[in-house]
Structure 1
Amino acid sequence: MDDLFAPSDVSWTPVSPKLATLRRLSAAIFAGLAAIVALVVLGLTLGWGYGVLAVVLIALAFGWAWVLIGRNQRSWKYAEREDELLVSHGIMFRELVVVPYGRMQFVDVTAGPLERAYGLATVELHTATPATDAKIPGLHPDEAGRLRDRLSALGQSQAWGL
């Protein structure tokens, strides 16, 4: 069953471990803001005991998210084959996206403010069918640029036969 989502005949490249740190920071910011709002709103309307209970529940949810974020980051990987790019991710719900180079229409590289602060970028491949679009988060900017250029060149050279 594992060969279905991770063929053994390819060399997989993992994404940066900084992706987990970035996502954990984002989750911490969200959990902190949610805890403050819950404490104030519930504390003023229902009583401070309910506000504290909400903060404890948010903290437990954040702890669980911390574990899941690390597992999710370790599941992301990609491989370049001769005619296609493979992107695999997921622990419980695994996904393998195979994008033929000749079907790519364009390649995006994005990096938000937090991604730039952590030295990360995301490469997104677009095809005519949205179901075969693929995204690779957590790449070093140099690797994202190299991958963008390589995929664009391969896509252009293999699309001429269509």
Structure 2
Amino acid sequence: MRAHPSYTKIRLIQVVGFFITLVVVFAALTVMFEMMRSSDVLPKTTWLPALTGAIAAVLVVWGIWWAALLPRRTRALGYSLRPNHLMARQGLLFRHVTSIPYGRIQYVDVDSGPLERAHHLVRLTIRTAGVTASKVTLYGIPTERGQQLRELLIRRADERMAAL
């Protein structure tokens, strides 16, 4: 199953907010350094205003690129329930597939932030009894399906643990 399409909107709001904050900070630094330079607090030949302005420009370009890839990155999120394990996948350029045996599952948490609640979505965080990849998060799951999935994973984990 893939992440719900509304999850793209949530991620877009988060990414745009983050990049706007960064650009505003660097733009304010540019103005501050320019004012300090014009009032002779900084030497006239200082490169700080140009550097902070260039960083702000790079952040704008990076933010546009990041936002453009969000729909594809969201479609790359998914999971599959198999008879003996849960498969989780993520990543667009560097794809990552994790297989979690039900018997290794220790905790299943259902979380949601304000944007996710507004779109009736949750995140499932699955913690396992391993050292590497001991936590896997499934994003953009409808609320009702998330609760059902949590109960199913806990039940299957209990069954597998009882068999040991």
Whether the TM-score (by the shorter chain) exceeds 0.5 is: yes
- The TM-score normalised by the length of structure 2 is 0.83
2:15 partner amino acid: A
- Deviation, structure 1 residue 53: 4.6
Matched with 2:45 is none
**Structure 1 vs Structure 2: percent identity of aligned residues?**
24
4+ residue segments displaced more than 3 Å: 46-56
CA distance in 1, matches of 2:8, 2:149: 21
- Deviation, structure 1 residue 138: 0.8
Q: More displaced, 110-119 or 151-160?
A: 110-119
Q: Is the counterpart of residue 23 in structure 1 residue 11 in structure 2?
A: yes
Matched with 1:44 is 32
CA distance in 1, matches of 2:25, 2:107: 42
Structure 1 gaps of 5+ residues are: 1-12
* Structure of larger gyration radius: 2
Alignment map for 1:79-94 (pairs within 5 Å)? 79-94=80-95
Structure 2 gaps of 5+ residues are: 36-48
CA distance in 2, matches of 1:151, 1:145: 10
CA distance in 2, matches of 1:127, 1:54: 40
- Deviation, structure 1 residue 60: 1.1
SS at match of 1:131: coil
CA distance in 2, matches of 1:117, 1:56: 32
Matched with 1:156 is 158
SS at match of 1:46: helix
CA distance in 2, matches of 1:67, 1:97: 26
Matched with 1:119 is 120
1:138 partner amino acid: G
- Deviation, structure 1 residue 57: 2.6
- Deviation, structure 1 residue 54: 4.4
CA distance in 2, matches of 1:96, 1:139: 18
**How many equivalent pairs are there?**
150
Matched with 1:70 is 71
RMSD of equivalent CA atoms: 1.8
- Deviation, structure 1 residue 131: 2.1
- The TM-score normalised by the length of structure 1 is 0.84
